[in-house]
Amino acid sequence: MPKIQSINLNLWYGDFLALKDVNANFAEKKITAIIGPSGCGKSTLLRVFNRMNDLIEGVRMTGEVLIDGMDIIDAKIDLVTLRKKVGMVFQRPNPFPLSIYENIVFGLKVHALNKDNLEETVKQSLSSVLLWDELKDKLNKSALSLSLEQRQRLCIARLIAVKPDILLMDEPCSALDPQATQKIEELMRELKNNYTIIIVTHNMQQAARVSDDTGFMLLGELVEFGKTDDIFTKPKDKRTEDYITGRYG
């Protein structure tokens, strides 16, 4: 069974139809990339999966989005539980102006999770983003003293501490240089052994490098969805071909 299923999903911002009848299955413990030009709806789709769009006034959705078979569009869903299960990483790393240690345990406090063994949780979370060896002696230092790439890793570690199933990444490398980008991509490959990852990216080479599946969106429509190998070598839809070969526009 797919981890996430989007069935006939439509989303409006007021009168504007931003997602048009989106149907897709997102596989468990795989990386799925969503690509498309600015304003195509890819970040909107990503934010559906943890209901972040609810923060925007006038948003309305129809259709179904099932995570592990449960419809998360249902008004009765507990958003705090949903967002613990479905974590999000943003374009610019946004650690809290607290110590590295406090950043990691912050989520545990918010979600009122078991606070025993905090040291162990911090160690495990930082290890899973390959930061433990670098930072184990600096846990009380401010998170703002870290490099951009380390901050982004720390933000991922902060999510991992609350044990999510799904990581949503919205342009996670757009503020990083090529070397830092490569490190985050390596980390994503490690993380997919344990998490389902969906990444929105403008960088098609990045989508081609890291993802197992790719979806191409245009004007709110999911034009094509399939194996990354196929999308980048033999797309079926001419609009996909035009976009990935730079002929769109």
Contacts with another protein, residue ranges (CB under 8 A):
204-205, 208, 232-235, 240-241, 244-249
Report the first-to-last Cα separation within the chain, whole angstroms. 37
**Could you tell me the smallest distance in angstroms from the CB atom of residue 245 to another protein?**
5
**Could you tell me the smallest distance in angstroms from the CB atom of residue 198 to another protein?**
21
Residue with tokens 């709110």: 220
Write out the two tokens for 225.
């969805």
Nearer to another protein among residue 28 and residue 241 (C-beta): 241
Phi then psi dihedrals of residue 165, to 5 deg: -105, -30
Nearer to another protein among residue 29 and residue 209 (C-beta): 209
Nearer to another protein among residue 145 and residue 245 (C-beta): 245
Phi then psi dihedrals of residue 40, to 5 deg: -80, -15
**Could you tell me the smallest distance in angstroms from the CB atom of residue 242 to another protein?**
8
Question: Are 220 and 17 within 8 A, CB to CB?
Answer: yes
DSSP letters of 1-58? --SEEEEEEEEEETTEEEEEEEEEEE-TTSEEEEE-STTSSHHHHHHHTTTGGGGSTT
Nearer to another protein among residue 134 and residue 248 (C-beta): 248
**Could you tell me the smallest distance in angstroms from the CB atom of residue 21 to another protein?**
25
**Could you tell me the smallest distance in angstroms from the CB atom of residue 234 to another protein?**
3
Nearer to another protein among residue 20 and residue 239 (C-beta): 239
Strands 59-67 and 70-71: antiparallel
